[in-house]
Structure 1
Amino acid sequence: MTKKITIAIDGFSSTGKSTIAKQLAKKLAYIYVDTGAMYRAVTLYAMQQQYISKEQFNKEALIADLNNIELSFTFNEDLGFAEMYLNGSNVEKDIRTIEVSSFVSQVAAVSAVRKKLVREQQLMGANKGIVMDGRDIGTVVFPDAELKLFMTASADKRATRRYKELLDRGDNVKFDEILHNVQERDRIDSTRDDSPLVQAADAIEFDNSDMGLEEQFERIMSLVNDRLA
């Protein structure tokens, strides 16, 4: 039987965690789980139910309603990756908006939300052969993962990438708004009480500020092969 490992990818927002995770999963024929999409889906639900807005965040109402949130991934053969479903509806595009981005760190800081999603994530990776990216994969979800990466890049580079991505989608956004969102998410993710964004002691830091996708993939695939050997 071919050896299978768990690959945990953590790091700041817009560092390309999902991109490299999808590439690795495809190359290795592993399951890919975008945990950020799960937190975004819960955030979208909170927005739909008017639990969160610019004026208020009713955490208690969201916590009381968590059992009514069903999350799942369904593989899309045309796209080559699994899309996020919220209570049976495809929300892959809806969760990628700047509005969801502006609230997701607040929702992700709620301990009850984290507890629910971490439990689901651990079940998904129980049999290894998985690539998972997020903020606390190597520290909380899979502390025994064979390979842990911590992705980083300058805030300006990350905002530029996110800005181009949203423009290509046809969204009407301003660069300054994106940069502020990136910096604010960094602040909230790094200072929250429950599972703050920190680099695991045995994680490999990977700064891709000035690195192309091909070079990044080759370097990380080399690390994967070392673990598989």
Structure 2
Amino acid sequence: MSNNGGRCSDRINVAIDGPAGAGKSTVARKVAEQLGYVYIDTGAMYRAVTLAANRAGIDPGEQDRLKELVEVLNIRLAPGENGQMVFLNEEDVTSEIRSRDVTQHVSQVASHESVRIRLVELQRQLAAARGIVMDGRDIGTHVLPDAELKIFLTASVHIRALRRYQELKDRTGVSLEQLEAEIAGRDLSDEQREISPLVCAKDAIRIDSSELTIEQVVALIQELGRTKLAEAK
């Protein structure tokens, strides 16, 4: 449901932030479906840049080359039968951006100011019409600081690693302990980076999903959305 780019009084923007593996993408997608909003997976956009860098032989630490790369990339998100599809220069890379190689380098690529500036610009353009559910690391604090509803979704490192382990179904031979170490390391990287670090916005509602099902989290956010929409009218 779009509105030709104008501000729409019967819609709000929902920002969902949180650490790696907290279930943000799944929750955000389902919340968007329930509300009839558009879902924007910002993490997928950073993953697309990381994939492009890997293909171009650009090291995650090469800031100048990454800046040149991100300026010419065309990243497009589109709804698909099995969720959001991600296109990089019109190539469907939905599955490829979830590879371990991309996962291990995306935090470093996303830490560069030039990359974030370009993608934040694109993300704000997408949200201008309202009726958006956007998830990431700095949506409520930096990308959409005026979002009417801000959620900080988290869970313990062990629970997040366990969910990821079950998702992989032992396809990669990675142990649960290794995943825990990787997620803890990524948390540290996201929290300590100089550009838009992972923090809980002061006006965000914190939800710990360690003991909740996806459906319970979605229902809770949906109810909060209805409340915020009523307040905004």
1:215 counterpart residue number: 216
Give a deviation string over 1:129-152, Cα, whole Å, max 9, x none.
000000110011110100000011
Q: How does 1:1-229 map onto structure 2 within 5 Å?
A: 3-52=10-59, 57-76=61-80, 78-79=81-82, 81-167=83-169, 170-229=171-230
| Greater mean alpha carbon deviation, residues 124-133 or residues 209-218 | 209-218
Give a deviation string over 1:9-42, Cα, whole Å, max 9, x none.
0000110111111111111111100000000110
* Amino-acid identity (%): 42
Structure 2: 5+ residue stretches without partners: 1-7
* SS of residue paired to 2:169: helix
Could you tell me whether the CA contact under 8 Å between 1:33 and 1:131 is conserved in 2?
yes
Could you tell me whether the CA contact under 8 Å between 1:3 and 1:228 is conserved in 2?
yes
TM-score w.r.t. structure 1 length? Answer: 0.93
Give the Cα–Cα distance (whole angstroms) in 2 for the partners of residues 67 and 172 of structure 1: 36
The one-letter amino acid paired with 1:104 is V
| Greater mean alpha carbon deviation, residues 180-189 or residues 119-128 | 180-189
Q: Residues 228 and 99 of structure 1: is their aligned pair in 2 closer, same or farther, counting only changes over 3 Å?
A: same
CA drift at 1:171: 3.7
Could you tell me whether the CA contact under 8 Å between 1:51 and 1:59 is conserved in 2?
no
Give a deviation string over 1:168-208, Cα, whole Å, max 9, x none.
7x444322222122111101100000100011110001101
Give the Cα–Cα distance (whole angstroms) in 2 for the partners of residues 70 and 171 of structure 1: 30
Give a deviation string over 1:61-107, Cα, whole Å, max 9, x none.
1212222211001221x21x321111111111111122111101000
The one-letter amino acid paired with 2:62 is N
Give 4+ residue runs of structure 1 displaced > 6 Å after superposition.
Answer: none
- Superposition RMSD in Å: 1.4
Aligned length in residues = 223
Give the Cα–Cα distance (whole angstroms) in 1 for the partners of residues 184 and 116 of structure 2: 22
Structure 1: 5+ residue stretches without partners: none
Give the Cα–Cα distance (whole angstroms) in 1 for the partners of residues 71 and 186 of structure 2: 26
